[in-house]
Amino acid sequence: MERHQYPDSTPNSSTENVGLDVKPLRTLAPMFPSSYGLNVFSQSRTSPFIYISPSDYSSLPPGFTPPFPPFQAPQPGNARQPNSYPNGNSSFQTPSASAAEKKMKKQIHLGSNSVTDGSNSGCSMKPQKKKSRKALNIDSGLVPSLLDPRDSVEIVLMTFDALRRRLSQLDDGKEVKNQRPDLTAGTTLMSSDLRANRAKRIGSVPGIEIGDIFYFRIELCVVGLHAPIMAGIDYMTAQFENGDDTVAVSVVSSGGYENEETNTDALIYSGQGGNANVDQKLQRGNLALERSLHRGNVVRVVRSARDYSVPNGKIYFYDGLYKVESSWVEKGKSGFNVFKFKLLREPEQPPGLAIWKMTQQWKDNPTSRGRIILPDISSGAENVPVCLVNEVDDEKGPTHFRYSTTVEYLRPLNSMKPLEICRCASVCLPGDVHCTCAKLNGGNLPYSSNGTLVSRKPLIYECNMSCCCSSNCRNRVTQRGITHKLEVFKTRDRGWGLRSWDPIRTGTFICEYTGEVINKINLEDENADNDEYILQTIGFDEKAFKWNYGPELLGEPSADYSTESLGPLPIFISAKNMGNVSRFMNHSCSPNVFWQPVLYDHGDEGYPHIMFFAMKHIPPLTELTFDYGMGGGTGSRRTRKCLCGSPKCRGLFG
């Protein structure tokens, strides 16, 4: 075979590494994925939202319906028009809408064949009947098209995970379980037209930021970051100044191939296709990446990390924009040819993989964390050490307080109303109609099998010390204390803050607000007005009300709770003189944490424990914040200027 070396490809020093066999494009017969046995060169203009390669389709769970869109896809003139990128190739053009639409209607000729899109444009499956939002009575706040891009993405992801948690909860008591509730949730969202960024594009995706994390591949699909739920390379046909071409738009490095990911600014990506007995071919995603090398377009890169909270789990995170710098062919471990592509990260982007590598180094060796004031501010009171760090100035720490992991009530616990007890052997089981604690929670256990909160409620009842179940019961989540590696750090303009070295999954318990319970009379004292550490259950971010699953999507009655049912509560807690890490959690008008009342050591519903849970997936080293609210009532804290910096900042809080 004649070898053709790219001018900018990696030189080969052995016979095992050969130049990519790049013949003139007119001699290459493009091989893009067929749609379930249909002709790959069908000229249908309807592009499915997701394509699944036939070779991968067999690995999906039995009975799964591929999540194709239930509506007419955007016209090719719009779907194939890439977004411009400020640092992109100078030859890249974004023509006017009318010119683009006119040109995109033409077929693109590659060799003797023609295609109309880089995705499964040949699919002729009949779209499902679109469900009416009016019939479902879906809140307009859940409709992505009515929101700004960031809100659109966050609402879609929040609704997806809420549906997935609810589906898992419904399956808990069944003998035959749904093995992939994530796929069912994704299909449900798309069949109801609840998703973001429908059209493929080159470059950044509106509403998605570098560092954003995802726990399921289909989450990448429903927000438009990466369409295929199996294949690692996504591509589309785009218009360049000298003609149309099919180029790669994103890749996912999930550990399934022999990739090299040690460099934070480079990725050696292995091509797709082939197996232990077959050479990879220059087709589909491999061909698209090769064309991106010559076209110079940016490619989104999604990397992955191990999720230690579940067996064989992965966390995907968006690492930013890259360009294909070179490509070659080499012998893989199986002895057969594998395509290799070297992608280099575009400059002046926020750190992505570098954050994960840095925090992992700290977890492996905590002494490697620089600018530590105290290795454990809790002095051993917490399950996990909480370090105190200042990278801003020379301040040696916050004002003195007594660290406590418990709440100090106005009267002894043994004088308060006791909770009912369950008599479950070993642990409380989902679907057990005799479990008293499940009955108190409306018939279902409030937490999933991995300990995440299923839905927000006016009050959650955990098992108490008199219950017969063991300490391993899934209904004892918050009373076990913190489990994430947290750090208290100095912010630049808002005092001390709280963040985590670990990624935090939505619905995960973070910490309790501890301190001294004060009565309403003392709250009206002038000294209390200067207490910046008083927690009042008055603050609700708008998204906190929509955190529960959209029950209409599952044919269930609405589970929305009003402001009256979720607060305010008569309890007031001051962490000024005593408290834990929660006292350092700052206010934000766009928070990533919400509070949830929980009872487990007494039954007085007016004085529950105030527990904090993740409102959404939170990347490592992201500050943890909740909405302090706007009180305005008797005994409330004085109003303060807000410095959260959110686009939706109210300007004031308190």
Give the model confidence (pLDDT) of 479-507 as tens digits.
999 999 999 999 999 999 999 999 999 99
Q: How many CB atoms lie within 10 A of CB 266?
A: 15
Give the model confidence (pLDDT) of 403-448 as tens digits.
999 999 999 998 999 999 999 999 999 989 999 999 999 999 999 9
Give the model confidence (pLDDT) of 116-174 as tens digits.
333 333 222 333 444 444 344 444 445 555 578 999 999 999 999 999 999 999 888 77
- Of residues 447, 461, 533, 628, which has the active-site annotation? 628
For 29-45, give the DSSP string: ---PPPSTTS-TT----
| pLDDT grade for 93, boundaries at 50, 70 and 90 | very low
Active site residue 628: yes
Q: What is the pLDDT of residue 57?
A: 40
Q: Is the pLDDT of residue 39 over 80?
A: no
Give the model confidence (pLDDT) of 610-648 as tens digits.
999 999 999 999 999 999 987 654 444 568 899 999 998
Q: Work out the burial of residue 563: count CB atoms within 10 Å of its CB; fewer than 13 is exposed, 13-18 middle, 19 or more buried.
A: exposed
| pLDDT grade for 23, boundaries at 50, 70 and 90 | very low
Active site residue 51: no
Q: What is the pLDDT of residue 634?
A: 45
Q: What is the pLDDT of residue 539?
A: 55
Does residue 544 sit in helix, strand or coil?
Answer: helix
Eight-state DSSP code of residue 413: G
List, in order, residues 6 or more apart from 270 with CB less than 8 Å away.
257, 258, 259, 332, 338, 339, 340, 341
Looking at 330-475, list the stretches that DSSP marks H as alpha helix, in order from N- to C-terminal side. 353-364, 436-440
**91 token code pair:** 């030859």
Closest Cα partner for 593 from 619, 572, 613, 620?
A: 613
Looking at 461-530, list the stretches that DSSP marks H as alpha helix, in order from N- to C-terminal side. 520-523, 526-529
List, in order, residues 6 or more apart from 46 with CB less than 8 Å away.
72, 73, 121, 123, 124, 127
Q: What gap in Å lies between CA 365 and CA 357, rounded to an integer?
A: 12
Eight-state DSSP code of residue 16: T
The torsion of the CA quartet 528, 530, 532, 535, rounded to 10 degrees, works out to 20
- Tell whether the torsion through CA atoms of 261, 263, 269 and 275 is positive or negative: negative
* Radius of gyration for the alpha carbons in the chain, expressed in angstroms and rounded: 27
- Of residues 51, 235, 513, 600, which has the active-site annotation? 513
For 137-183, give the DSSP string: T--GGG-GGGS-HHHHHHHHHHHHHHHHHHHHHHHHT-SS--S-HHH
Domain residue spans of the chain: 17-357
Q: What is the mean pLDDT of residues 385-397?
A: 97
Q: Is the pLDDT of residue 184 over 60?
A: yes
Q: What is the pLDDT of residue 255?
A: 80
Amino acid, single-letter form, for residue 644:
C
Report pTM. Answer: 0.80
Decide if domain 17-357 falls under CATH 1.10.20.60. no
Task: Note if the bond before 54 is cis, omega within 30 degrees.
Answer: no
Q: What gap in Å lies between CA 270 and CA 259, rounded to an integer?
A: 6
